[in-house]
Structure 1
Amino acid sequence: MPWTLRVPLLADEALSSWLAKAALRQGCDPLALTGAIWPGWRVWTRDIDRGIPDARLDPLVQVSGIPASDFEQAALRGVYEQISGHPLAENRSWPWLLALGTRNRVHHGGQQFCSLCLTQDITPYFRRAWRMAWHVGCPLHDVLLLDACPTCHAPIEPHRLVAEDKHIAQCARCKLDWRHVACTPISQDALRFQQLADEVLQRDHAVLGDKAISASEWFAVNAFLLGVIRRASRWPASELTFALQSLGISVTERLLPVTGLSFELLPVSERSAMLTTIQRMLDIGLDEMFEAFHRNEVMATALHDPRKSPPEVIRPMMVNGSPRQKTSRGDLQSGHQPKSERAVRAAWARLKRRMKTEMP
């Protein structure tokens, strides 16, 4: 039976946002609503923003009155297969998509928001763009996005709200209204990268130096640069770090994520710092950057994991192997060594991340 109270799917609205909003509009919990639409299907144990399976669309269309094509257009799968350049498996993490870190219905992260956008909304809702890992700021308000409750530090989980909550712009744990929280200015370089990435997706191609490349190649190049940044930050006295510093690119330990997690699992502050550095690398240009690598005798293995092939557009620029011999692990001091301070901090940060979702 169709709902008496219709809930429109707004432009750029995430599917999870719409489902949670629709539930509160009907006067019930999101879990109760999805259980009524899809009995026996545990919707909230998956990343529903990626897309709703075709076999599950018909009952949703019947109750909502919204065409199936609208739900298909709101799904993120098409965007991310454009980024990857190939079909993506449902049960794997997707590059450049914030990972929810789902355990049952509990999320470790994966959602973010602009409090000023929520304030201006007639009915607050979460944007599809806020799930994209390169989105770290709001271009309308020039502020850093928030990816956790400022008060209790819980992840953003609108699907765990209850009927009495009325709107989705609040914390499911402490009930803080996010429309009244303070904002932090966004790095303009990070915002430039964000807008450039959006433009590349819209055009489905980019120009890198004097080469025209596809959107998927462009994102692959920037994933490669993320790896370069992390490697340079890990070894501050290396030739790679000296080469970057010679170009005016400051690579410090703060660019090395404390947790050691993948980019899609990092907090927004760490992603913003890394994208700021990547934008500066793009401003300098890959040709000039690789010339600096050659001058400083940076080994190819210092730039990327040799088990993975670098992007095709990068391969002609790759630095030849250095004649210097690498120190083998066998040459290192034997015996058990205490873990470094950074390793201990990384383990502690990962533990806190797991504990965050286990709190009542």
Structure 2
Amino acid sequence: MVYSNERAKSNQAHLRRWPVNTVPYDDELLSSWLVRVSFDHFTAPLILTSYLWGNWRAWTFDLDRELSVARLNKLSVCSGISVSQLQRMSLRSTIEKISRTNLIQQSMWPWVVARHTRNLNTYRYQPFCPKCLKDDSEPYFRRTWRLSFVTVCTKHLCQLLDCCPHCKQSIEPHRLKTKTLTECRHCHQNISAEPSKRANGKLIKITNELINSIDEPNTGARDIFHQLEFWIAALRKLSISKSTTHKEIFSGLVDAKDRKLISSCRGVNFNFLTVESRSVILKYCNIANSDLLAQELSRLSSQGLSSSFMTSLLTIPPLTVLNFLGLTWPPESNTKRACPQSPIIIKKAPRPRPLVEKSWELLLRKHRLGKL
């Protein structure tokens, strides 16, 4: 039994091995395992983390991304599970294989479903497959469900859910007090009881290819996800363009029933979108090999898609796009000789684009503007 008064320094006991050994599943999220550990010890997840880490408000952070070595050491002492195994339960090892940027704890990570938290309340950060939870001998949440490019279950061929099918509230397992992960914290109904929507066949194929490319050697996972990032940006920019040429290209790429949904996601980062919105966008993304990508770019170029549009989508365009356009990176700049008579004017630097985009996303979510 873990008691609720562990936050007080005078009441803190020395950490020792827990009496119950809760073995994590191979593909289980760290947060899911912590919730199951708390249930096995007849306590709440918030009390368990207070016992481990004192006044640190663990559940206001995204524990699935990574934990510091000091906190992992404490968790390892109590659970008997090695630090390396605990690290494998986090998302860092997966994202490092597919991301081109350095992962900073305080910033948003690429390809991770964003965890928007206000106090202990979270918004749609935990997608799940109801059929998987129903079939489990002991329900748990998978790591792949937190990846933003995974919107379907490739086992049951159905679309994931990111809210309770009964009350439409967010799934918040860290706030549960009963010994089951399939209960909705808000309406207390079974989230695995309702049938889920059958997934699109093309989307299932795309998701399978993306997941398999992560761990297979010599697949160039970073290049594949770089191309996927390019297609997502292209579709989203075409959907809001006022150019007649761009509207015609967008109409040729996307079905009429999905155009309005894609255009309604303007201004919101892909990782903040709901499962439904992300699945619609991914359905039209081409992640084929470089040769087929070059052919598709050639076709779109003949329809009027300019090279400036292709290079404006990402800070660094994919290598296939650069080769198609005959460009190099970084681009060669034509430096002009400075005029000695010209006065030096110091201008205030603008805010970085990521900070502006993040502020805009938080503003939209705070006031619930637009369809996310």
The verdict on a shared fold, with TM-score over 0.5 as the criterion, is yes
Distance in 2 (alpha carbons) for counterparts of 1:233 and 1:201: 29
Higher alpha-carbon Rg: 2
Whether 2:120 is the aligned partner of 1:105: answer yes
Identity %: 27
Distance in 1 (alpha carbons) for counterparts of 2:168 and 2:67: 29
Return the match for 1:289 from 289, 296, 302: 296
Could you say what secondary structure the match of 2:246 adopts? helix
Deviation of residue 153 (structure 1)?
Answer: 1.7
Q: Which deviates more from structure 2 when the two are superposed, residues 139-148 or residues 79-88?
A: 79-88
Letter in 2 for 1:240: H
Could you say which residue in structure 2 is the equivalent of 1:120? Answer: 135
Q: Which deviates more from structure 2 when the two are superposed, residues 293-302 or residues 76-85?
A: 293-302
Q: Does the 8 Å CA contact 1:98/1:132 hold for their aligned counterparts?
A: yes
Change beyond 3 A, Cα 1:307–1:217 = closer
Q: Does the 8 Å CA contact 2:140/2:181 hold for their aligned counterparts?
A: yes
Deviation of residue 249 (structure 1)?
Answer: 5.0
Whether 2:259 is the aligned partner of 1:256: answer no
Q: Which deviates more from structure 2 when the two are superposed, residues 250-259 or residues 98-107?
A: 250-259
Distance in 2 (alpha carbons) for counterparts of 1:260 and 1:282: 29
Distance in 2 (alpha carbons) for counterparts of 1:70 and 1:185: 34
Whether 2:54 is the aligned partner of 1:39: answer yes
Could you say what secondary structure the match of 2:116 adopts? coil
Q: Does the 8 Å CA contact 1:189/1:279 hold for their aligned counterparts?
A: no
Could you say which residue in structure 1 is the equivalent of 2:237? Answer: 231
Change beyond 3 A, Cα 1:52–1:280 = closer
Change beyond 3 A, Cα 1:195–1:277 = same
Distance in 1 (alpha carbons) for counterparts of 2:31 and 2:52: 14
Whether 2:277 is the aligned partner of 1:270: answer yes
Cα-to-partner distance string for 1:99-144 (whole Å, 9 max, x where unaligned): 0112232212221101111011111100001000111111111110
Distance in 1 (alpha carbons) for counterparts of 2:43 and 2:277: 37
Deviation of residue 186 (structure 1)?
Answer: 0.5
Could you say what secondary structure the match of 1:167 adopts? coil
Matches within 5 A, 1:178-189: 178-189=191-202
Distance in 2 (alpha carbons) for counterparts of 1:110 and 1:353: 18
Matches within 5 A, 1:121-140: 121-140=136-155
Could you say which residue in structure 2 is the equivalent of 1:203? Answer: 216
Could you say which residue in structure 1 is the equivalent of 2:35? Answer: 20
Unaligned runs of 5+ in 2: 1-15, 328-362
Distance in 1 (alpha carbons) for counterparts of 2:38 and 2:276: 32
Deviation of residue 283 (structure 1)?
Answer: 11
Computed over aligned residues only, the root mean square deviation of the Cα atoms, in angstroms, reads: 2.7
Letter in 1 for 2:53: W
Matches within 5 A, 1:1-360: 1-162=16-177, 165-206=178-219, 214-235=220-241, 238-243=244-249, 249-250=254-255, 252-258=259-265, 260-279=267-286, 285-303=292-310, 305=312, 308-318=315-325, 351-352=367-368
Q: Does the 8 Å CA contact 1:143/1:186 hold for their aligned counterparts?
A: yes
Letter in 2 for 1:170: E
Could you say what secondary structure the match of 2:279 adopts? helix
Letter in 1 for 2:124: G
Q: Does the 8 Å CA contact 2:239/2:247 hold for their aligned counterparts?
A: yes
Could you say what secondary structure the match of 1:314 adopts? helix
Could you say what secondary structure the match of 1:107 adopts? strand
Distance in 1 (alpha carbons) for counterparts of 2:159 and 2:313: 35
Change beyond 3 A, Cα 1:131–1:306 = closer
Could you say which residue in structure 2 is the equivalent of 1:332? Answer: none
Cα-to-partner distance string for 1:293-330 (whole Å, 9 max, x where unaligned): 3212322333353672312221122499xxxxxxxxxx
Q: Does the 8 Å CA contact 1:224/1:304 hold for their aligned counterparts?
A: no
Distance in 1 (alpha carbons) for counterparts of 2:313 and 2:212: 31
Deviation of residue 284 (structure 1)?
Answer: 9.7
Distance in 1 (alpha carbons) for counterparts of 2:166 and 2:315: 41
Deviation of residue 242 (structure 1)?
Answer: 2.8
Could you say what secondary structure the match of 2:55 adopts? coil
Distance in 1 (alpha carbons) for counterparts of 2:297 and 2:88: 40
Could you say which residue in structure 2 is the equivalent of 1:341? Answer: none
Q: Does the 8 Å CA contact 1:249/1:280 hold for their aligned counterparts?
A: no
Change beyond 3 A, Cα 1:257–1:14 = farther
Q: Does the 8 Å CA contact 2:227/2:287 hold for their aligned counterparts?
A: no
Distance in 1 (alpha carbons) for counterparts of 2:47 and 2:311: 47
Distance in 2 (alpha carbons) for counterparts of 1:283 and 1:180: 43
Distance in 2 (alpha carbons) for counterparts of 1:205 and 1:240: 36
Distance in 1 (alpha carbons) for counterparts of 2:240 and 2:57: 41
Letter in 1 for 2:203: A
Q: Does the 8 Å CA contact 1:14/1:128 hold for their aligned counterparts?
A: yes
Per chain length, whose mean CA-contact separation is higher, i.e. which structure has more relative contact order (CA < 8 Å, sep 6+)? 1
Distance in 2 (alpha carbons) for counterparts of 1:125 and 1:274: 28
TM-score (norm 1): 0.81
Q: Does the 8 Å CA contact 2:233/2:313 hold for their aligned counterparts?
A: no
Cα-to-partner distance string for 1:176-197 (whole Å, 9 max, x where unaligned): 2112112100111111111111
